[in-house]
A and B are shown apart, each in its own frame.
Chain A
Amino acid sequence: MTSLTQNFNFAYLDEQTKRTIRRTLLKAIAIPGHQIPFGSREMPLSYGWGTGGMQVTAAVIGQDDVFKVIDQGADDTTNAVNIRRFFEKVCGVETTESTSAATLIQTRHRIPETPLQEGQIMVYQVPIPEPLRWLEPSEVETRKMHALSEYGPMYVRLYEDITQFGQIATAYDYPVMVNQRYLMRPSPIPRFDNPKLNMSPAIQLFGAGREKRIYAVPPYTEVKSLDFEDYPFQVETWDKACEFCGSTESYLDEVVTDNDGGRLWICSDTDFCRSRGKREE
């Protein structure tokens, strides 16, 4: 792997492949929330491990970008480390752990707590892009349903949750309606993060490598989590505070500390937690 930089193109993929991905991205941005097929390539990481996000990143990254990678909100999880060191190797770009310093952020399962700004690009790793997949396994059928905006079955499913459980029992990858037209999977972020998708000033790009799909949410686009008038969308809350920084408004991870069920709660967003910790010192 040490010879990677000598033997491979900037950002690993050849220019032609990057160009076709960028064309797909432009189309995706033009039709917010709509899944566009693309000729996804094998990457030196397994499918399902962020190859879609990596291909999107490879297509848009430039020499001047400052790159941040998070997995589960943290910069230091092994998968985040692995993807970051891959792009360090094949691009030699500057990397950061700071959300506000980054121009390009690749993420798995979280949106940073620090609000995104204009000019920033978020790249989401997507395992299953199709929001209707658990209702209808056939791609041929789901494409038809999207074309006809036939989203009734999804509302029925949510309604069944309410009759059975008293609430919508989807904790993550909670379906959203983009620009009042396309039903979209926000990738497996907790529903806590869904409101951050709405009217975000950043460009949000979604890459599913194994499923060969790209979709996007352009800046300042309406992204609405599905709900009902009498059962409005709600995010989860904790009656705990972060053990490190005391935050009560961030997404908290539960950590088991001993064999007797001892627990504590810490921010999942390590950059947010650290910068808050500093402020309060």
Chain B
Amino acid sequence: MKLDAKIPSGPLELKWDKHRSDLKLIAPANKRKCDVIIVGTGLAGASAAASLGELGYNVKVFCFQDSPRRAHSVAAQGGINAAKNYQNDGDSIYRLFYDTIKGGDFRSREANVFRLAQLSLNIIDQCVAQGVPFARDYGGLLDNRSFGGAQVSRTFYARGQTGQQLLLGAYQSMMRQVAHGRVKLYPRTDMLDLVLINGHAKGIIVRDLITGEISSVAGDAVILATGGYSNVFFLSTNAKGCNVSAIYRAYKKGALFANPCFTQIHPTCIPVSGDYQSKLTLMSESLRNDGRIWVPKKPGDTRHPNDIPEDERDYFLERKYPSYGNLAPRDIASRAAKEVCDEERGVGPGGRGVYLDFSEAIKRLGKRKISERYGNLFEMYERITGENGYEQPMRIYPAPHYTMGGLWVDYNLMSNIPGLFVLGEANFSDHGANRLGASALMQGLADGYFIIPYTIGHYFATAKEPKSSVNNPEFKKAEKDVVNMIKKLLSVKGKRSAVSFHKELGRVMWDNVGMTRSRQSLETALKRVPEIRDEFWQNVIVSGVNETLNQDLENTIRIADFLEFAELLALDALEREESCGGHFRVEYQENGEAKRNDEQFAYVAAWEYQGIGNKPILHKEPLYYEYVQMATRSYKSMTDLL
């Protein structure tokens, strides 16, 4: 299979403009005849639904929550980037582009990332017009903060609830289209399969989560905006329902899965407290703007943090990365925290934590300013730990958070299956091997508001596929497969709950495929995952029946998919014999820093499914850099400023 990213020709700055004028249009009267299926109502899905509805398409939108407003985007705290340069601190589209490419450790496409940086400007304008209450300064203009991996202040925020406010903006715009009859909502519905007809994506199979009814939905194109797969680690900052199922089922139908091993561990989460734990809570990275990260210099120091004098503290990020200090990119900050804990300098129960200290910022700015900026995060921390972050440093530790990998898409955000588009965290497109803070929201909205409205029209104008009907045998067959899979799960009637398998899988993945990876650990994972999966299919017990609201069944189906997908993730990590971004292979390092191998691995790894337990086929999309030099991603020196 030849992978064609369809990157437009011409100079970088003009590619998207040129492409937009080259894309074929579809007459308004014909848009009404096109049925678009969107799975997902997060930033990516809701913004796409609103925009496509406005254009006159017939849109059907699905999500598993009871309301689209609860999609996991709602939980994003910190902010959204845009190269507005309102602060006059030297930001530009080019700089945001460069920061993102570099932050991604030179494993993303130049053309995609440049477009993202360009569109960042429109996103902020759009959101403000919708009434998103971004923070403002006393003059009434928009305020910014800085975020990891950047030396300019370009992050727009709405207290610690930026994701919520952006999502509500997109949701409200979508609901306006529901009122107009252009968008039809299907909440409490799980997508369980993708249906292809004549090689094109033509519909999905869904399960009604209240009645258990399995049915087919036909359309002229399918958009997946189903979010990330961090829950393969069981414990992550993602919501309980986040899953890989939708994109994994598409993968099983022939869509290529790109860079599954590029997962991001977030440095500032509340440490694990026990094995009953159901998820980890993120403290927004924006805290690193004003908080200083440290551990005691002495191993095993059990003194209260406030009793440890300045000269006995190791501000390890400031020491190792003087130019970025506490704002070093996520992967670097996470590994540095693991390192100091491995040296037994970690703090809190179990020694898996580092301090995040606000005392200096409080002295400098006053408690009021700090609480204005991060008040709700301090409250959240106190609610969970019972400790007051204003009076003593918080404790933080890294946790799985975001997945850069996802379904392979071309410049039009279309997968290798014609008519299947993938947006937001579910695709692999823009973040390379590591995502910078505040860039996921930007990407989700760029995809949904400003890219898909153009590219989907081109597909309809050029593909000219006949309409499909749910009576097509392909739909009947896919429905039957889903019904059989559910029957099989319910008939195992074993002794272990599905969650116990998920926890076991998560531990194997965190220990072997987590923050650091080695050939040996990956081989262990590749051996253990199929064993767990086998036992699952022989020994899982699922309560109840299909024909009712059955949360245990919903969850078990998702876990079954994680148990297959985990193997793909580990395999990709094994084959990528280099360290880059969030993927750190202990064999490939130099003076403790990740060592990339551009000669052999400057490509996108896109995997093609070959059946359960069979090795998938690897397709490579080479990455070319015409405008930036593939520098070593150093955050150490002051001269590293380009």
Question: Do chains A and B stick together as partners?
Answer: no
